[in-house]
Chains A and B, each alone.
Chain A
């Protein structure tokens, strides 16, 4: 078992709680830092894609996992980030400025979408965000002068100080750096007042408002921040795609993003990473499945969304804490060995909550 001796409150505020953690994160950093020397271009590209998903996942996790607001329309923010970034690049705006502007623009749209969503909860919010995503898809398809309509638009090459960023190694490091920055920003947010106010809203709105948390403002903030991260991911995603068309940002994409945070484990940033790896590998797994299944079964239309949906439901039923939850249980087992109690994580019947005030 591990005991952490705490000698000052700063330790609880710090990002790394003990030297063991520091060691493992350093090891991980060296590994991903050296990956370009070990992996070939294909896998490097896949890993960059995982990083991009993870950035989007951070955004969605803050909203769903920490604020408790569901979104079925996050593909829209991915699209807004991708299109606005590509549009700005195409008009001669330098790469970093275009990416920052795309992020901010997505955040602003997020805040605006958040406004009507503030009075809705659960399924109603899910439907509203879905409707928003459909509207965005329609706009992308029909606003030809800007988006190129159904034909789509090419994404200009990214360059910085005259150097191309599109080489698979450079792009890998770019995605990695932005992922690390996003993770740090999210972690910082979560250990401060704003992150706690998100969590408060997730667990009890009436209680949150009685603690002085402005529900509407905080929720719209959560939407804006969430959309901002997802928009940033969208900007990188644009380069990954190379050519933008509305069919890259459909309901399926939104579900895939949601799948990532649910499968990874709601309410944890580790979960985002696990989830991103998972949905990064999923297409390969499905392709493999198509090859091995008898042709009749492999040709079933809607096989892919069907599998996504099935996985989502299975996780919600059997492992609501996601892959990260499973990992924590395994780790606790070894930490506490041989004293582990299998009931540690069993869900307890919670006491009555205030019935009248809802």
Chain B
């Protein structure tokens, strides 16, 4: 039997007059790749910002592994094991890829400030251990050529993948990907779909993905949620959603 990892209950939030998300409920099973689709401005990114607690809910609550996480601080969300990427990337621009990924290990640190000042053997051991984990992720996503490069000098497609890598370095239980394929060329998108499989099956990470590329969505996801104007239109298998009359209407703007 599959277990419920994440559950959203009646999420609502509005900005001024705009009801960005209205009374939205959905649940994500352990081990699933769950996609959220919808036209621009549908409220997809807002859902992610609610989950990562960058926005406060007006109403509703979110359950993760049986606990209510609606009141946690953003850093506590990360500590619980929820990692994310951003639609237009939010990397540490002036640092190398390596340092960006090492920051991804932050929640796994166990050293104290005083030890770090002295760089005691425990700190060195931890650094080497972090580095090994980071290298595993670099190998997984083929980022070897960029290891020492400053983010600011990298092409957009690489940055998108570095952001995914950084999230993976957190070893999350739940990974939120906001339009991972936007800005990627077809070849990179193809790679992305394989990596998604690896992330999901080999690493056992549950994924919620906001995505426009319907091919990718159909190939990679187990279930799809269609949103429009902050409202849920339908949830179901990719093929069902693609042909769902309400979804077609929302996209074609009937």
Contact = CB atoms under 8 A, between A and B. Distances in A.
A131 interface: no
Interface residues of B, number: 51
B87 interface: yes
Contact of B116 (A9, A10, A194): A194
A197 interface: yes
A336 B49 CA distance: 45
A354 B111 CA distance: 32
B161 to A, nearest CB: 14
Chain A: interface residue count, which band? 35 or more
Nearest to A181: B117
A357 B79 contact: no
A178 interface: no
Nearest to A192: B116
Interface stretch (A117-125, A137-145, A199-207, A311-319): A199-207
Interface string B83-96: 11011111111110
B152 A350 contact: yes
Contacts of A209: 54, 73-75, 78
Contacts of A213: 75, 103, 106
Contacts of A13: 124, 127-128, 131
Most buried by B among A12, A195, A203: A203
A189 interface: yes
B94 A203 contact: yes
B123 interface: yes
Given A12-B131, A192-B119, A199-B95, A354 B88 contact: yes
A2 interface: no
B160 to A, nearest CB: 10
Interface string A323-358: 000000000000000000000000010111111110
B132 interface: yes
B45 interface: yes
Given A212-B106, A350-B152, A192 B132 contact: no
Contacts of A188: 116-119, 123
Nearest to B156: A351
A191 B75 contact: no
B83 A210 contact: yes
Nearest to B113: A194
Interface in B143-181: 152-153, 156, 159, 166, 170
Nearest to A204: B90
Contacts of A214: 73, 75
A193 B109 contact: yes
Contact of B45 (A210, A353, A356): A356
Nearest to A207: B90
A353 B77 CA distance: 22
Contacts of B153: 348
B127 A192 contact: yes
B127 A211 contact: no
Most buried by A among B75, B77, B89, B91: B75
A26 B102 CA distance: 30
B104 interface: yes
Contact of B89 (A194, A221, A351): A351
A354 B159 CA distance: 13
A356 B55 CA distance: 11
B107 to A, nearest CB: 4
Contacts of A354: 86-90
Contact of B103 (A196, A348, A355): A196
A211 B93 contact: no
Contacts of B35: none
A202 to B, nearest CB: 8
A267 interface: yes
B99 interface: yes
Given A10-B124, A353-B90, 5 more contacts: A193-B116, A199-B103, A200-B92, A348-B152, A352-B88
